[in-house]
Chain A
Amino acid sequence: MTLGYRPGTGVLHRAHPFTVLALAGTVAVLAFTLSAPLGPMLLTAGLVAIAVAARVSRTLLTALAFAAPFWVFLVLIHVVFGDSPDRAVTVGSQISAVLVVFLMTLAAVHPGRLVDALLERGVPFHVAYLLVATLQSVPELQRRASAILDAQRCRGLRVRGSVWGRVRSVVPLAVPLVLGALGEVDDRALALEARGAASGLRRTPLDPPHDRLAERVTRWALLGSVLGTIAWRIVA
C-alpha cells in the first residue's frame, strides 16, 4: 500500500501545495453537497482520471484497500440488516471520493514544500513547527511504546486474563512512556528557545514554491464551485 509522499513529476507534484490542498478541500465539500449517489460517484470517477493523468495511480490501490472495510460494514448495516441500500451507496461513494483525493494529496505534496509555502504566506513558525515536530514525534514514541511493552512482558506483565486485569496492566506501560516524554520537555524547550522559535518573528523560506497565475485562478475557480454548489443546494 502507498501512504505518504512519493517523489514524482506529475502535474500534482509540480503544482503549488495550496492548489492540491484546495482540490482536496473542494472534493471533501462537494462529496457531501452534490446530489447523491450520482454526484459523489462522478466525482470519484473524475478523481481516478486525475490520479492516472497525474501519475499517482498507485494511490488508487491504497484507496481501494482503505474503502473496502467501509463498504463491507455499510452493506451489512444498511442492506443485510437494514433496508436502505441507497444510503449505503451514497455514504460509500462519499467516503471513496474523500479517500482518493486525500491519498493523492499526501502522495503529491512534500511536507517540506508545504511548510515553505505556509511560511511564505506569513503563517507563524510555531504552527509549522508543531506540524513537522509532531509527525516526527509519533513514530519515535511508537517505537518507545514497543520497547516498553517488550520490557514489561519480560518482567511478567500479564496481557491476557480479565478485562479489569488487562486495564490495570496499562499503568506499567503508560506511566514510563508519559514520564519519559515529559522528561524531554525541558531539553527541547531550551533548544527551541535558543533558536528563537517562540519569538513570533516572521521566517523567510529559502526556496518557496512558485505560485503561477493559472494556479491562483484555479484555486479561485475551485472556491467558486464550492460556494456555487452550496448556494444551489440551499435554493433547490
Chain B
Amino acid sequence: MIPLSSRLLALIPLAVGINLAMGKFAAALSLPLFLDTVGTVLVATLAGPWAAVATGVVSQVAFTVLDGKLMWMAFLPVQLGVALYAGLAARRGAFASPWRAATAGLVLGLIAATLSWPIAFLLFGGVTAGGVTVVTTLLTALGVPLKWAVYGASLSNDLLDKCVTFLLVHVVLISLPKRLSARFPAADLARGRA
C-alpha cells in the first residue's frame, strides 16, 4: 500500500471531483469531449505518477458507483494508462509550452484509444458511452468493419479530448499562484522550470 500524506489525502478527492464535474462544462458547451481525466493529469503534474494512479483508481470507482454501472470498472486500465503517461510526461516537462502540451496530449489520445478499444469491442460489442457509440453506429452503417468502427470512434474522441485536457492543465499550471505552486514542487518540473 502506497503511504499517502495528508496533503495527498486532501488533494485526491478534490481531483476526482474535478474529473466528474468537468463533464458539466463539456455538456453545456455541446462539445464531444469527456474531460474526465483533467483531475488525474493535474495530480500527475503536482504529485507524480503514483498519486495520479491512486486518483485514477478512486475516480473510476466513484464514477462507477455514481453512474450505477459496474461495467465502467472494465475501463480502469485506461485511467491507469492516462495516470502513468501523464506522470512521466510531466517529469519530462511536457507542460512547458502549449505546443508541447498539445503534442503530449495527442500521444495520450492515441494511447487511451488503443487501451479502450479492445475493452469496448470484446466485452461490450462496441456499445459504451453515448457519443462514442453514435459514431461507432454511423461508421458501421457506412460499412466499416465493427472493430475498426470502434477504434475510429474511440480515436476521434480521445485525440481531441486528451489534447484539450493537457492544454487545460498547462493553463492551470501557468495560472497557479506562487503560494500554491510552492506546495507542489513537482509542478515546476512539469512546467520545465526545474
User: Which residue numbers of A lie inside 8 Å of B, CB to CB?
Assistant: 3-4, 24, 28, 32, 62, 66, 69-70, 73-74, 76-78, 81-82, 87-88, 90-91, 95, 98-99, 101-103, 106, 124, 126-127, 129-131, 133-138, 140-142, 144-146, 149, 159-160, 163, 166-167, 169-171, 173-175, 177-179, 181-190, 192-193, 197-198, 200
Known: A185-B11, A185-B14. A76 touches B172 (CB 8 A): no
- B22 & A174 in contact (Cβ 8 Å cutoff): yes
Q: Which residues of B from 18 to 55 have beta carbons under 8 Å from A?
A: 18, 20-22, 24-26, 28-31, 35, 38, 42, 54
The dominant DSSP class at the B interface is helix
The number of A-B residue pairs with CB atoms under 8 Å apart is 202
- Whether, in the assembled complex, B10 has its beta carbon less than 8 Å from a beta carbon of chain A, the answer is yes
- B68 & A66 in contact (Cβ 8 Å cutoff): yes
- B31 & A167 in contact (Cβ 8 Å cutoff): yes
Query: B174-187 vs A: 1/0 string, CB under 8 Å?
Result: 01110010010000
Known: A135-B65, A141-B14. A179 touches B24 (CB 8 A): no
- A95 & B28 in contact (Cβ 8 Å cutoff): no
- Whether, in the assembled complex, B103 has its beta carbon less than 8 Å from a beta carbon of chain A, the answer is no
Pick the contact of B7 from A74, A102, A189 — CB < 8 Å? A189
Known: A82-B146, A144-B21, A174-B25. A182 touches B14 (CB 8 A): yes
Q: A124-B1, A134-B16 are in contact. List 19 more A-B contacts (CB 8 A).
A: A3-B68, A76-B137, A90-B125, A91-B125, A98-B71, A99-B70, A106-B68, A133-B9, A134-B12, A134-B58, A134-B59, A138-B21, A142-B20, A170-B25, A170-B35, A171-B171, A173-B28, A179-B180, A182-B14
- B9 & A28 in contact (Cβ 8 Å cutoff): no
- A178 & B31 in contact (Cβ 8 Å cutoff): no
